[in-house]
Amino acid sequence: MTTLRIATYNIHKGFSQFNRRMVVHELRERLRAISADIVFLQEVQGMHLRHARKHPHWPEQPQHEFLAEDMWPATAYGGNAIYDHGHHGNAILSRYAILKSDNQDVSNSRLERRGLLHCEMEFNGATHHLHCVCVHLSLTAASRRRQMGSLVERIEALVPEDAPLIIAGDFNDWHNRADNLLAERLGLTEVFCGIQGHPARSFPSTLPVFRLDRIYVRGFAVASAEVHFGPPWSRISDHAALSAEILPTAGTASPARVAQTAYA
């Protein structure tokens, strides 16, 4: 069975920690080095007219399209925070065909816009499509509880119980409350929990202390998982990137590649 490599990364809108430097070009190179098949991104800048005027090398395309160019032929974007000069949100980059995408607004405050970006991808010979959800949850515990409830309700309503499923992103889950809910209600496994018994430390990226970012899977066995922190990653974002290699379990077919030439 084909190994599927996945990654999740809060890219801090293409700026380094404390917004000192615009680093979207370096970010693209680091993401390509991971060479994931599916990438879950948070804090993706869809448009920012002020940055475009201020920074001479600011990409003309939305960040998810710039990052995906020549590497990931399929992309989806969900703008959550919208303002006069632009917008930002979540994105999924994929080497496999995205058949359907939807962005659900789960914001609980005008000051903290959040969404669930849900994509369906084709599996050759499989009964069901692969479902991928990119999340970025709130900083407050009460909002996170409501957002987690919305996530579980969405999956229970729209994703068949035997369908392969990946949920990844920035959970801001300081106290690790997500694991039990997603395991008990949805049958998901966090990739690092399966290896080391608890989620990985991913924040801050210089020397991670807090377990904020996650990759949950269903219908896959975890072959390996890695935290990308310290230089050069700590020069790009305040979060570390996470990646994992997973194998479809019995009854789950391998993903259909849409563009062999997309591989570096």
DSSP symbol at 14: G
CATH number of 4-253: 3.60.10.10
Please, what's the b/e burial string for 205-218 (b: 16 or more CB within 10 A of its CB; e: otherwise)?
beebeebbbbbbbb
Is 27 within 8 Å of 238 (Cβ atoms)? no
Nearest to 171 by CA among 111, 216, 132: 216
Amino acid symbol at 125: G
Cα separation, 137 vs 116, whole angstroms: 9
DSSP symbol at 111: T
Question: What pLDDT, on the 0 to 100 scale, is given for residue 91?
Answer: 98
Question: What pLDDT, on the 0 to 100 scale, is given for residue 138?
Answer: 94
Question: What pLDDT, on the 0 to 100 scale, is given for residue 147?
Answer: 95
- Which residues, 6 or more positions from 157, have their beta carbon under 8 angstroms from its beta carbon? none
pTM: 0.92
Per-residue pLDDT tens listing for the chain (264 residues): 578 999 999 999 888 776 778 899 999 999 999 999 999 999 999 878 788 788 888 898 999 999 999 999 999 999 988 788 887 899 999 999 999 999 999 998 888 889 999 999 987 656 689 999 999 999 999 999 999 999 999 999 999 999 999 999 999 998 888 988 999 999 999 999 977 788 999 999 999 999 999 999 999 999 999 999 999 999 999 999 999 999 998 666 555 544 332 222
Cα separation, 188 vs 182, whole angstroms: 6
